[in-house]
């Protein structure tokens, strides 16, 4: 099967200038993404997602290993790769402040050498798609950050790339805008034959709902890679528990309780309560957790056993939550 994006044993290290210490941002990553696939990388801050995308986009060299986009080596054939891709990165400035929204997209279309009538129609379609049609004549520096992000996404599709890299495409977007953008990305892959999208996200629901396959990345390694439903099936039935407890504590110590595979928690300041997610090796270990919480002086308000999510898969694999 022909791969659209491929990495073979890619590692990337960064040297710190002062201390001379070496950080391994990517550690022997081998993976492949097919034509027609919408693939998502899910991982916490610093996992290596952007580093890998930058290598595929020819913006960063691998320290070792090789990577290919549509069969072109990203190091030796960088210019061939650049002709067929586009990349957008969450939070970046999507163009020139003094140009209007439509002028910015037009400007990029002309850098790509797109024929005038095609470019004009595409600008219109993309502004509709990202919900900026009514801002078409607004100068870019007057846009809110969420609007700038939407303009950035529109720019990614402007050259109708064969392979599109979206680094955190919905970063900072409100719920409805994020949904609209996700819908456009999904539809674009479904309706444009053999295109490939590789996106990164911290939002597990985004990876789950949107992507055909998800790669879970942690400390520079791809720790799992499959369809969301297959990944979730890795977590055994009835081994995920969610406790709602009064107050807050450092719950890391629950990691040593027998049967605990991993856990994560969040404190809710308004209600001074915490939500604690625990992944267990066996359902019966829940009694041990209840006793341990009591020993910590935590009052349990409720206990549920929800359906596993991709975050539970992450906890199951690395012992802690995504945040
Ligand atoms: N130019 C650089 N110089 C030094 N270290 C870097 C550089 N770029 C990235 N790193 C380090 O490499 C690791 C991976 O970073 P990367 O940006 O790929 O993470 P990420 O998964 O995209 O995280 P986030 O979710 O925060 O965007 C981090 O520890 C980061 O500090
Ligand atoms: Mg990143």
Residue 229: predicted pLDDT: 96
Say yes or no: CB of residue 201 within 6 Å of ligand 1.
no
Pocket test for ligand 1, best of 20, 27, 41, 48 (most atoms within 8 A of CB): 48
CATH node for 3-229: 3.40.50.300
Residue 92: predicted pLDDT: 86
Contact 156/87 with Cβ under 8 angstroms?
Answer: yes
User: What is the three-class DSSP state of 86?
Assistant: strand
Sign of the four-CA dihedral 75, 76, 77, 78: positive
Render the burial of 257-290: b for 16+ CB within 10 Å, e for the rest: bebbbbbbbeeeeeeebbebbbbbeeeebbebbe
Atom of ligand 1 nearest to the CA of 202: 25
Atom of ligand 1 nearest to the CA of 53: 18
Mean pLDDT by 10 residues, the chain (323 residues): 92 87 96 97 94 98 98 98 95 89 96 95 96 95 93 96 96 91 95 95 90 96 96 89 91 89 92 94 90 91 93 90 78
Whole-prediction pTM: 0.92
> CA-to-CA distance for 227 and 77, rounded, in angstroms?
31
Q: Where in the chain is the domain with CATH 3.30.70.100?
A: 240-307
**d(CA 19, ligand 1 centre) in Å:** 18
For domain 240-307, give its CATH number from 3.30.70.20, 3.30.70.100, 3.40.50.180, 3.10.400.10.
3.30.70.100
Say yes or no: CB of residue 221 within 6 Å of ligand 1.
no
Q: Where in the chain is the domain with CATH 3.40.50.300?
A: 3-229
């Amino acid at each position: 099967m022909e791969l659209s994006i491929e990495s073979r044993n890619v590692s990337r290290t960064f040297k710190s200038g002062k201390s001379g210490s070496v950080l391994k941002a990517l550690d022997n990553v081998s993976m492949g993404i097919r034509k027609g696939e919408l693939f998502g990388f899910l991982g916490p801050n610093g996992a290596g997602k952007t580093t890998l995308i930058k290598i595929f986009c020819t913006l960063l060299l691998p320290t070792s290993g090789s990577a290919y986009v549509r069969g072109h080596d990203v190091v030796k054939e960088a210019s061939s790769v650049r002709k067929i891709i586009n990349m957008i990165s969450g939070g970046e400035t999507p163009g020139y402040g003094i140009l209007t929204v439509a002028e910015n997209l037009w400007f990029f279309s002309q850098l790509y050498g797109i024929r005038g009538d095609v470019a004009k129609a595409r600008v219109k379609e993309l502004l509709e798609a990202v919900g900026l049609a009514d801002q078409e004549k607004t100068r870019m520096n007057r846009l809110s950050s969420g609007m700038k992000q939407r303009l950035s996404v529109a720019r990614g599709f402007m050259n109708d790339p064969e392979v599109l890299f979206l680094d955190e495409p919905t970063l900072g977007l409100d719920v409805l805008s994020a949904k609209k953008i996700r819908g456009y990305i999904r539809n674009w892959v479904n309706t444009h034959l053999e295109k490939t999208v590789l996106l990164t996200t911290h939002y597990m629901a985004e990876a789950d709902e949107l992507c055909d396959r998800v790669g879970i990345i942690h400390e520079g390694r791809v720790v799992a890679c499959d369809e969301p439903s297959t990944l979730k099936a890795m977590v055994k039935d009835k081994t995920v528990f969610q406790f709602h407890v009064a107050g807050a504590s450092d719950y890391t110590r629950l990691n040593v309780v027998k049967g605990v595979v991993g856990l994560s928690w969040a404190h809710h300041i308004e209600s001074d309560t915490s939500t604690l997610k625990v992944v267990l090796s066996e359902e019966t270990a829940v009694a041990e957790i209840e006793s341990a919480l009591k020993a910590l002086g935590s009052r349990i308000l409720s206990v549920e056993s929800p359906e596993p999510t991709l975050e539970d898969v992450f906890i199951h694999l690395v012992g802690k939550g995504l945040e």
